[in-house]
Chain A
Amino acid sequence: MIRLEGITKSFAGKEGAVAALDGIDLTIAKGEIFGIIGSSGAGKSTLVRLINLLERPDGGEVFVAGERVTDARGERLRDLRRSIGMVFQHFNLLSARTVAGNVAYPLELTGQYGKIEIAERVAALLERVGLSEHATKYPRQLSGGQKQRVGIARALASEPQVLLCDEATSALDPQTTGAVLDLLRQINRDLGVTVVLITHEMDVIRRTCDRVAVLDRGRVVEEGPVTDVFLHPRHAATLRLVREAEPDGGSLDAIAASDLGGRAVRLTFTGPAAHKPILGRIARENLVDYAILAGRVGHIRETPYAQFTVSLSGRDVAGAIAGLRASGVDVELQAGLPLPQVEERPRHVV
């Protein structure tokens, strides 16, 4: 659906040009929810603005729906932008227009809809985002979550194929964030709209996205299905973002190697395996003991996961590891602790 090839972009800074994006290659498939995560200054806002050409790349190409759009201008550019909805962190609603007026705005721009048709479509959009009874209110009378729902309805008005969300939940409280993310997933499911979600919060990615790219200093440092990237972060930047989401989970920094009597392994249970009493059974069968050193449990979208770093000791540690693997558990042997340079460690160590 969206393909970025060799994108570079720099901005004039005090001491010459500063590279905001440095050779970005990304492919976003039709119908998926693709997350782009990075800490502030990583270049993610610039990246998302390249897709609808609010920013022009210095180098590289942008393809949308198979078409090269890198230097689209005039009517062609406006058509492209109509096929790409955008939702903003600070909503960017027109304060002089009512809720209905804001949603009608993109429809009025095209000049091809009559008043009655616009009114019907606006009513349907407001219904979809659950704001029907607020149609005649002005944005200042709404809460943050309601404002963002208006922003989403407005972005959907021109029936786009792609929805760009630039930190769409970053100005919202946790509860409202959840509701807005649910709405985005529902829209993705019902309308098949490809969603590109920019955020600095790993939690948003974990709950919403199919795939994720991690952006660090203008480069994509890690990319893949959320289950892989979230449970097996390889790059230091990814690890940092994961730890921000769970300050105490999965971190072994504090544990000194000398305290360990056994074999340290990291066990990852995903899907049905996360709900089965595998560890206890395997331990009994192989006569091993385990000490849980670190762990985290939760869901990635609907997929349950559990990840523990345990120290195995006893009669048949190798047998236990083989048994765990046979039961569908991902087992990574942890070499010396604390962890070596994270980004240098291969994803699946045997």
Chain B
Amino acid sequence: MSFENLYWGDIGAALAQTLAMVGGALLLTVLVGLPLGILLFLTGRQQLFQAPVAYGSLSFVLSIIRSVPFIILLIVLMPITVIVTGTSLGIRGVIFPLVVGTAPFFARLVETALREVDRGIIEASLAMGASTTQTIFRAVLPEALPSLLAAVTVTAIVLVDYTAMSGAIGGGGLGDLAIRYGYHRFQTEIMLVCVAILIVFVQLIQASGNRLVTHFSRK
């Protein structure tokens, strides 16, 4: 094993790809998953818009997506990915399946976070003449902010994990590099460097997430 002939250029490019995939997919996951989570919360049992059929159907679909292993989801989604993004390859091709794969997970975390908001606060908000929309955006979401930030942190780390599989469809990134060079070409040192960078990356995400959660916790 030698660390002298590392392809630092490739590693740098792979890191940039990972950052792009995680960043882009995280943004879209939050944009898609947050409304879904709010919908789950509102239609849930004994909630503001209790609707068992709507809740059941949405819940069923989300659970199906979550049951499919991500590597299979990548392949199954390929035709749809082509329609949505124009290509099933590269970073553009991988962000769509990443969002499909993580949004249901994030939506569940959002649902749980919102359910933990004290019902009394919702009741008080309504008693003060707030509409349901005002209650959600001005009372429930701000109250749940620390939990929501924790959910974003966990989701970001899941995304880092999923990007490793993006190599299967030519997505690139550190995970892909580690598998191609480290596993297929027996260059263990590249794999080790990639994994080390990923470890640092995940630690950074977790640490900054924790700091944000603490900062916004008022309880």
Whether, in the assembled complex, A318 has its beta carbon less than 8 Å from a beta carbon of chain B, the answer is no
A152-178 Cβ-contact flags toward B at 8 Å (1 or 0): 001100100000000000000000000
Whether, in the assembled complex, B126 has its beta carbon less than 8 Å from a beta carbon of chain A, the answer is yes
Contact A78 B145 (CB under 8 A): no
Whether, in the assembled complex, A138 has its beta carbon less than 8 Å from a beta carbon of chain B, the answer is yes
Question: If the complex has contacts A109-B129, A158-B128, are A96 and B218 also in contact, measured as CB distance less than 8 A?
Answer: yes
Contact B218 A140 (CB under 8 A): yes
- Interface bracket on A: 20 to 34
Measured in the bound complex, the distance between the Cα atoms of B118 and A84 in whole Å is 22
Whether, in the assembled complex, A52 has its beta carbon less than 8 Å from a beta carbon of chain B, the answer is yes
Q: Which chain B positions have C-beta within 8 A of A105?
A: 125, 128, 138-139
Contact A94 B143 (CB under 8 A): yes
Measured in the bound complex, the distance between the Cα atoms of B145 and A93 in whole Å is 16
Whether, in the assembled complex, A232 has its beta carbon less than 8 Å from a beta carbon of chain B, the answer is no
Distance between B14 CB and nearest chain A CB, rounded to angstroms = 40
Q: Which chain A positions have C-beta within 8 A of B123?
A: 54, 88, 92
B121-143 Cβ-contact flags toward A at 8 Å (1 or 0): 10111111111001000110011
A90 interface neighbour in B120, B128, B130, B131, Cβ under 8 Å: B120
Contact B138 A96 (CB under 8 A): no
Whether, in the assembled complex, A106 has its beta carbon less than 8 Å from a beta carbon of chain B, the answer is yes
Distance between A75 CB and nearest chain B CB, rounded to angstroms = 9
Question: If the complex has contacts A138-B218, A140-B218, A140-B219, are A96 and B127 also in contact, measured as CB distance less than 8 A?
Answer: no
Measured in the bound complex, the distance between the Cα atoms of B39 and A342 in whole Å is 55
Whether, in the assembled complex, A110 has its beta carbon less than 8 Å from a beta carbon of chain B, the answer is yes
Contact A109 B134 (CB under 8 A): yes
A78 interface neighbour in B121, B129, B218, Cβ under 8 Å: B129
Measured in the bound complex, the distance between the Cα atoms of B118 and A80 in whole Å is 24
Question: If the complex has contacts A96-B142, A96-B216, A140-B218, are A81 and B126 also in contact, measured as CB distance less than 8 A?
Answer: yes
Contact A94 B139 (CB under 8 A): yes
Contact B129 A88 (CB under 8 A): no
Contact A88 B143 (CB under 8 A): no
Contact B143 A110 (CB under 8 A): no
B128 interface neighbour in A106, A139, A140, Cβ under 8 Å: A106
Contact A92 B121 (CB under 8 A): yes
Whether, in the assembled complex, A82 has its beta carbon less than 8 Å from a beta carbon of chain B, the answer is yes
A180-211 Cβ-contact flags toward B at 8 Å (1 or 0): 00000000000000000000000000000000
Interface positions of B from 195 to 219, Cβ below 8 Å from A:
216, 218-219
Question: If the complex has contacts A105-B138, A140-B219, are A96 and B145 also in contact, measured as CB distance less than 8 A?
Answer: yes
Whether, in the assembled complex, A301 has its beta carbon less than 8 Å from a beta carbon of chain B, the answer is no
Q: Which chain B positions have C-beta within 8 A of A93?
A: 121, 124
Whether, in the assembled complex, A108 has its beta carbon less than 8 Å from a beta carbon of chain B, the answer is yes
Q: Which chain A positions have C-beta within 8 A of B142?
A: 94, 96-97
A54 interface neighbour in B121, B127, B130, B138, Cβ under 8 Å: B127
Question: If the complex has contacts A94-B143, A109-B134, are A81 and B128 also in contact, measured as CB distance less than 8 A?
Answer: yes
Q: Which chain B positions have C-beta within 8 A of A79?
A: 129
Contact B131 A78 (CB under 8 A): yes
Q: Which chain A positions have C-beta within 8 A of B121?
A: 92-94
Distance between B140 CB and nearest chain A CB, rounded to angstroms = 10
Contact A96 B131 (CB under 8 A): no
Whether, in the assembled complex, A136 has its beta carbon less than 8 Å from a beta carbon of chain B, the answer is no
Contact B145 A158 (CB under 8 A): no
Whether, in the assembled complex, A86 has its beta carbon less than 8 Å from a beta carbon of chain B, the answer is yes
Question: Would you mind naming 29 contact pairs between A and B with Cβ atoms under 8 Å apart?
Answer: A52-B127, A54-B123, A54-B126, A78-B129, A78-B131, A79-B129, A80-B129, A81-B126, A82-B128, A84-B127, A86-B127, A86-B128, A88-B120, A88-B123, A88-B124, A92-B120, A93-B121, A94-B139, A94-B142, A96-B142, A96-B218, A106-B129, A108-B138, A109-B129, A109-B130, A110-B129, A138-B218, A139-B218, A154-B128
Q: Footprint of A on B, CB under 8 Å? A: 118, 120-121, 123-131, 134, 138-139, 142-143, 145, 216, 218-219
